[in-house]
Structure 1
Amino acid sequence: MDKYILEEKKRILIDFINSKEYQPMKLKEIGTVLQVPRNEKQDLRETLESLLSEGKIEVDNAGRYKLADASTKTGIFNGTQRGYGFVVIEGEPDDIFIPENATKGALHNDKVMVSVKRDKTGKRQEGEIIRILERANSIVVGTFEKSKNYGFVIADNQKFGKDIFIQKEHTKGAVNGHKVVVQLTNYGDRDKNPEGKVIEILGHMNDPGVDIKSVILAYNLPQEFPEEVMEQVEHVEDEINPNEITGRKDIRNLPTVTIDGEDAKDLDDAITLSRENGIYHLGVHIADVTHYVTENSPLDKEALKRGTSVYLVDRVIPMLPHKLSNGICSLNAGTDRLALSCFMDIDEKGNVVGHEIAETVIQVNKRMTYTSVKKILEDKDEEERKQYEEYVPIFELMLELADILREKRRKRGSIDFDFPESKIRLDEKGRPIEINPYERNKATKIIEDFMLLANETVAEDFFWQELPFVYRSHENPDSDKIKQLGIFINNFGYSIKVSQEEIHPKELQKLLIKIDNTPEEALISRLTLRSMKRAKYTASSDGHFGLATKYYCHFTSPIRRYPDLQIHRIIKENLHGKLNEKRVNHYYKIVPDVARQSSLMERRADDAERDVEKLKKVEYMSQFIGEVFEGVISGLTNWGLYVELPNTVEGMVRVSEMQDDYYIYDEEHYTMIGEHTRKTYKLGEKVKVEVVGTDKLLKTIDFEFVDEEE
């Protein structure tokens, strides 16, 4: 059924069910009253099912349909290892807690209908799942364990919660420790485990490459491009046709550079910069991907389905095939390339006093790396400066402008979390041989500053044009979480001002400046980050709290992010004067779905990347069992203390293994206190730990505290 016809039918049905004369009816009765022809009965069933899945109606045990109760909501079940879970309702700040006995057999990521009530304290929303609307998992990846007459599979995703029972004849010959793909044949219920059959054996959990392959399959990450996509790619030229330059702004004469990581292959942004009469002329030139990825083509549909490129430790799963991402769309040095450019005139205070967005043809003169530019600007490396002598003044001008832009953002309250990411180096067999923090330097920050400015400029331009667009939004933090943060930082002598239940980002920024280079910096930064919401894509410009700006979008990476590609298409149509009423309405219809799909795929990519990192950290630390390291207490729970090492690896000291006393977690003050000795462990405290165990299955690293005297 066409999507818009379905929406109209749903509206009619809701009006009917909402009418005074309506009593709960079965499908057949509804069809009779509405005089639905026999050949349209299937459409009626589909419409009712769609309304059910949205939680707008519900069905009783006798199969009669009625309007959903006000306390009934629809959301996604988020499972846990311990059996209980949470239901996440889109657009609502608080998740609904679901006790273990109220899950109705729901599994992680299932779409569910939940009856909501308050718990005894009246503070937390609690609920009971009354219907499973849509199962999320028919395929599960996990580790096989063999018993005498049957087997079972422990899902890699710990949130799945239950082991899967496998009858002997459906094990496919799997043995203990095999990573397998399971097709679920029965989802089980509250009291009974799911059942399934092994459909593929990936290899033993300790075989090289099997761990990452398991993550790829567990998250259903696409490994191959469909045939029709590759057929479309075959017709793409390796170099641009001279005819394609017609009508474009030709800026091949401007000194142009790219600055990326050493191993980057998809170069989607280039920079030009000059200064005259106190005005900086900054050009941010982005690969014109939509010239090749046309709307509704196989390439476009597959790119939307993927939403984003996924960067795993040993590989990239690209949004677009390599012929595009590393070839014609990549701004490779010495070749003519089509671009969509944002030219900005910036005064000495960092204000954009004029801008132009244009289709261009560019040629990159130098492909620079962050390392090389860092050597030129930070280290003043003579050899490096001599090698790139011609471009050193441009890099120095870049640094000058970036400093101005960063100061302007600081003044308005933009929050800069400078957490070290992990850089994991593998050997040829995929084993981790080195883990270090990936530190930002002046070169990475320059590019970051320029991209932020281009994203803001483009977003503000299209907001005021009142055209359909995809924005990057970051909501204000939840007031309860900010209150908790305020209570916690009081323990360290800090405070934040909250007015009318809201906080200005400047308050959090001031806090981060105050804690800079203090022992508690990492801890308070982490807790501040956790108190904030997750950024997402939206069809409306809802503002970006973290950047303290009203207007923000993602414009600068169309090779690896679909929202960027979508807005490029809108921008280009607007430049050509083709955004008539029909096209504007078309974009208003599709943009909310694009934003939703992009946000979902971004989350999937983040989770998969995090899982692979955890796996490799566990594998890396397995060689250090018995060795002692210095670290910082980075988290506290009732069951243990998290300790982070300088190389970004995090492990846990379990309370049950602490033999010198019985320890109690004081949640209000974020401390662990010994009942008899009154010995305390605080967040941010430096400690020595011994590595006592690793578990690749659970992706955990176990530490024990080492006394200073030892």
Structure 2
Amino acid sequence: MKLSEPAILKLMHEKTNRPLKISELAKCLSIPDVQRAEFRNYVKSMTEEGSLIRIRGGRYGLPDEMNLVSGTLQGHPDGYGFLVCDQPGPDIYIGRKNMENAMHQDRVMVRVESSREKGRLNGRVIRILERKTVSLVGIYETFERQGWVIPSERKYFHDIFIPAKDRKGAKDGQIVCLEIVSYPTKHQPPVGRVVEVLGRADDPEAELQSVLRKHLVRQIFPESVMEETRDMTDLVGEDERARRKGLAGWTIFTIDGEKAKDFDDAVSIEKMAGGYRLGVHIADVGHYVEENSPIDREAYERGTSIYYPDGVVPMLPFELSNEICSLKPGVERLTLTVLMDFDESGELLKYDIFDSIIKSRYRFTYTGVARVLEHGEGDERYQAALPALKLMRDLSQTLRKRRFDKGSVDFRIPEPEIVLDAQGKVEKIVAAEHNIAHELIEEFMLSANQVVARHLSERDIPSIHRVHERPDEAKIMAFNDFVKSFGLKLAHLHNPGPKDLQNLLKKALGRPEERVVNTVLLRAMKKAVYSEKDPGHFCLAFEHYTHFTSPIRRYPDLVTHRTVKRFFKSKCTVRERQRLLPRIADFAEQSSRAELKAMEVEREINDLRRVQFMADKAGEVYSGTITGVTAFGFFVEMTEAFVEGLVHVSSLMDDYYIYLEAEHKLKGQHKHKTYQIGNPVKVRVTNVDVKKRQIDLTLVKN
């Protein structure tokens, strides 16, 4: 018989009714003698992973039959935690006394012991399956002449003891990187060794590095990658000229942010009889980054570029991302072109996808394009391109209206932009601009991504899809209950489509509660991910969707390029499908993980910069809006500063307040005063803790 973990688990569920020794299991499951050694290895491996459990007497059983579950521990600063189960199911609360020396991120086995209020499960760690943490970042402090590191990630609730010989000259208040030497036991704290001192906690660069190191962000490219990069050239060879379409004579240009250097998309347009011909030209990164090469393996691990206010950690070396692949003006570049014909109503008539060579004429900015389109202002470059820009504006607005008419959900939540001064300190935080030029590029990229996804789907070619599933019905019903207080409701409560949600947002447009309705609905949505499956994109209301237009900064886009090019001139056979699907599934899973990590890093760096900006503003008063409500207080976004802080419930002295989760509000038990998402308030900054990334506020009476 063919042994595998799923096969062994299936047999054990079918044929055993109690824990058994390995020899008894082998006999019960009819394992042939020649496979006993292999079976024994499987059982031991499965026990280490947590899919089997070993009890006294050397007997092995199924965890779920013994009320045991395995998963990853998520710690809390107060010393308790939650088990995120390997299998689908609710998280399990683990009290401080039941943690058994487990640390945040450890893989553990937990016994479910009882139910808590509100139906939550309560458990106890009975075994640590795998210690996941090998290094940490934190602040070095001396207590009673002993060295300790307080982890920057507060979910690690153990301070790390540092022996004198392993301090590497660290001084109080410095940020350090450490390696774990030994893990906590019943009688001993975790012990570590300092491997690098990053600098003082009030040094912005040291703080930035602490975030990047904490999340194990790969900042330095291996020498094998740099060696491969040095051998590359941006000169276009004759063989490429022979097989690609030359578009050097076309009016093609890029539109990006003021500080951008990695230009991976350019656009062109032509007015046709009864419509438009739109060209979206994407840097052919796959021509330079061969599959399974050192650069490709590094790009796979990174998954995406990470952007923050004063820099970027690129997915590809700058020699590629900012030079060889970047669609800079006046130089020939290898591209993959999606050419789309639309009628006047924005309906796609036909398309073509092909290898090309372009020479971008202009490097435009969003601000410059918006200025020339809205006010006619701009230098000779913008004036020369104005006829094309006007055509692009007309087509993009037609596509945008058509998309929303079909049900795309348009969330109107302003994004903050952190502006730094010449010294790298935060000068101000403002609402990021989103103008007609942003909308233009957004619609063209959406169109190209959608066309490529449809192209691959119609040919039954395995590929990475950008998937957004419909929200859980319970969350939508809770959202509907919440907006009833504003006189709003969904037209179709059960299984609403994206158009139902968009229609509700349109009704909230311009009303005082517009921001809160958008915010609460966004929180009810599932997160978009990458997948080898193709259920469509709920929020965009697209039947098929992928990411294709940013291969310089996103690995899934690079995979999509390779997939398209692999089947330019051939069909995908059944055998090729079977070979490709597992690889595509792996690429999708890794890309989703990398994206989530990048979002966490970017969010934490932005939070750090916000707190640094507010560090000298204790005592100042701001107008703001309640953006979130919890049992311990409510968060307020200060309008002028574009920064969020916490009003703790303990500072509300006029009543005892209870938390009404479904209504997103705190309500006084006696005076019945309420604090709800969307309420305008005035607050005073009382304390700013840069180390904890925490801003404390108190209410100011109007």
Deviations 1:399-433 (A, max 9, x none): 11111111111112111123222221223443212
Paired letter, 1:643: V
Q: 1:387 to 1:467 in 2, by over 3 A?
A: closer
Is 1:613 equivalent to 2:606 in the alignment?
yes
Partner of residue 545, structure 2: 552
Partner of residue 153, structure 1: 149
Contact 1:250 1:360 in 2 (8 A): yes
Contact 1:53 1:74 in 2 (8 A): no
Partner of residue 242, structure 2: 246
Is 1:602 equivalent to 2:602 in the alignment?
no
Paired letter, 1:532: M
Matches within 5 A, 1:181-580: 181-188=177-184, 193-378=189-374, 380-382=375-377, 384=378, 387-500=381-494, 502-577=495-570, 579=572
Matches within 5 A, 1:625-636: 625-636=618-629
Q: 1:620 to 1:191 in 2, by over 3 A?
A: farther
Aligned residue-pair number: 697
* CA–CA separation in structure 2 for the residues paired with 1:548 and 1:118: 43
Secondary structure of the residue aligned to 1:182 is: strand
Is 1:637 equivalent to 2:620 in the alignment?
no
Deviates further, 215-224 or 337-346? 337-346
Q: 1:405 to 1:461 in 2, by over 3 A?
A: same
Partner of residue 685, structure 1: 679
Partner of residue 579, structure 2: 586
Partner of residue 57, structure 1: 52
Deviates further, 468-477 or 81-90? 81-90
Deviates further, 62-71 or 386-395? 62-71
Q: 1:464 to 1:79 in 2, by over 3 A?
A: farther
* CA–CA separation in structure 1 for the residues paired with 2:463 and 2:418: 37
Contact 2:369 2:382 in 1 (8 A): no
Structure 2 length as normaliser, TM-score?
Answer: 0.92
Contact 1:149 1:168 in 2 (8 A): no
Partner of residue 705, structure 1: 699
Paired letter, 1:559: I
* CA–CA separation in structure 2 for the residues paired with 1:190 and 1:465: 60
* CA–CA separation in structure 2 for the residues paired with 1:116 and 1:591: 36
* CA–CA separation in structure 2 for the residues paired with 1:574 and 1:107: 48
Secondary structure of the residue aligned to 2:636 is: strand
* CA–CA separation in structure 2 for the residues paired with 1:19 and 1:90: 21
Q: 1:29 to 1:674 in 2, by over 3 A?
A: closer
Paired letter, 2:411: F
Partner of residue 64, structure 2: 69
Contact 1:470 1:567 in 2 (8 A): yes
* CA–CA separation in structure 1 for the residues paired with 2:345 and 2:238: 40
Contact 2:362 2:381 in 1 (8 A): no
Structure 1 length as normaliser, TM-score?
Answer: 0.91
Deviates further, 536-545 or 103-112? 103-112
Secondary structure of the residue aligned to 2:388 is: helix
Secondary structure of the residue aligned to 1:308 is: coil
Is 1:695 equivalent to 2:660 in the alignment?
no
* CA–CA separation in structure 1 for the residues paired with 2:241 and 2:3: 45
Deviations 1:277-331 (A, max 9, x none): 2222111111111111111111111110111111122211111111111111111
Secondary structure of the residue aligned to 1:525 is: helix
Secondary structure of the residue aligned to 2:243 is: coil
Secondary structure of the residue aligned to 1:545 is: coil
* CA–CA separation in structure 1 for the residues paired with 2:51 and 2:487: 49
Deviations 1:343-369 (A, max 9, x none): 111122222121111111111111110
Q: 1:537 to 1:395 in 2, by over 3 A?
A: same
Q: 1:204 to 1:555 in 2, by over 3 A?
A: same
- Give the alignment partner of residue 20 of structure 1, picking from 11, 15, 20: 15
Shift of 1:215: 0.5
Deviates further, 601-610 or 454-463? 454-463
Secondary structure of the residue aligned to 1:455 is: helix
* CA–CA separation in structure 2 for the residues paired with 1:322 and 1:341: 23
Deviates further, 417-426 or 537-546? 417-426
Q: 1:206 to 1:13 in 2, by over 3 A?
A: same
Contact 1:335 1:364 in 2 (8 A): yes
Secondary structure of the residue aligned to 1:401 is: helix
Paired letter, 2:313: I
Q: 1:55 to 1:568 in 2, by over 3 A?
A: farther
Which runs of 5 or more structure 1 residues have no equivalent in the other structure? none
Shift of 1:458: 1.0
Paired letter, 1:303: A
Shift of 1:618: 0.5
Partner of residue 166, structure 1: 162
Paired letter, 1:201: V
Paired letter, 1:658: L
* CA–CA separation in structure 2 for the residues paired with 1:270 and 1:90: 43
* CA–CA separation in structure 2 for the residues paired with 1:8 and 1:601: 33
Contact 1:341 1:360 in 2 (8 A): yes
* CA–CA separation in structure 2 for the residues paired with 1:518 and 1:272: 39
Shift of 1:551: 0.9
Deviations 1:346-393 (A, max 9, x none): 122222121111111111111110010010123x143x1655222111
Deviates further, 259-268 or 677-686? 677-686
Contact 2:339 2:353 in 1 (8 A): yes
Shift of 1:181: 1.3
Contact 1:103 1:190 in 2 (8 A): no
Contact 1:101 1:190 in 2 (8 A): no
Secondary structure of the residue aligned to 2:663 is: coil
